[in-house]
Amino acid sequence: MDARDYVIVGYGGIGSGVLEQILQCAEVEKVVVLSRSAHRHADARVQFRQGDVSCAESLAHVFAEVSSPCCVINTIGLLHGDNILPEKRLADVRKEALLRSIEVNTYSTIALAQAIEQNFSRKQAVSLVALSARVGSIGDNRLGGWLSYRVSKAALNMAIRTVSVEWRRTRPLNVVVAYHPGTVDTGLSQPFQGSVPEGKLFSREQAGNYLLDVINQLEADDSGSFKAWDGSDIAW
């Protein structure tokens, strides 16, 4: 894939890791980062915009700043926080936590796909890569638990597949992909790192590197797929 401009949504562990990797590429002209908080970066190619992904106006401002071909990477996600803890059992599930998980983990990518349609013409090539998680795979679920997170990521995967089918017909230059980064040393995974086998906890830098490698190898036929950090396909 040939992108000179990038949009990164969310500036957490993986968002910041992938930004640093993108900036290593001399051909990259601009990276706009949308975050709820204010940030600064020494590289003049980086522009931070403060705002919420569910605000169409914020997204219109961000997309007005980039040219195609470009790649939009959604790195926002919620596993714990906001009075939410991943559930150990069915009895732990609360409606508010489930709906909040869907809002952050599922709706954010749907809002981005809609904003891409509204702000780019069909002749402009735009790729949308959304950070999903292997635990959102229905076929791979043997352990159970984490119901809200799993449900919201499985719904994200279905949204991506559904958008890909529509875009194949209406916007063949657009690509949309779900991506699993592996287990990465960030605030999101921090409380659960105890059970990670040695060598399987990636640094933010490694995670950014793997993500950019997969993005660089994306082709039109990959639209609607669920990729892992090593480029392999994950069962839906």
Residue 78 binds ligand NAP (CB under 6 A): yes
Residue 214 binds ligand NAP (CB under 6 A): no
Give me 66's structure tokens: 């980039």
Q: In the window 128-157, what residues touch ligand NAP (CB under 6 A)?
A: 131, 133
Closest CA to 179 of 32, 77, 54: 77
Cis peptide before 172 (omega within 30 of 0): no
Residue 229 binds ligand NAP (CB under 6 A): no
Residue 181 binds ligand NAP (CB under 6 A): yes
Helix (H, G, I), strand (E, B) or coil at 67: coil
β-pairing, 46-50 vs 70-74, is: unpaired
Residue 37 binds ligand NAP (CB under 6 A): yes
Shortest Å distance, C-beta 5 to ligand NAP: 19
Contact 175, 1 (CB under 8 A): yes
Residue 3 binds ligand NAP (CB under 6 A): no
Sequence-distant (6+) residues with CB within 8 A of 190 are: none
Which span sits near ligand NAP by CB under 6 A: 13-21, 63-71, 162-170, 220-228?
13-21
Closest CA to 28 of 44, 47, 45: 45
Shortest Å distance, C-beta 98 to ligand NAP: 14
Radius of gyration of the chain (CA): 17
Member of 127, 137, 174, 189 binding ligand NAP (CB under 6 A): 189
Give the Cα separation of 13 and 211 in Å (integer). Answer: 13
Residue 12 binds ligand NAP (CB under 6 A): yes
Which span sits near ligand NAP by CB under 6 A: 11-19, 55-63, 112-120, 220-228?
11-19
Q: Which residues of this chain interact with ligand NAP, rule CB under 6 A?
A: 10-15, 35-37, 75-78, 82, 104, 131, 133, 180-181, 183-184, 186-189
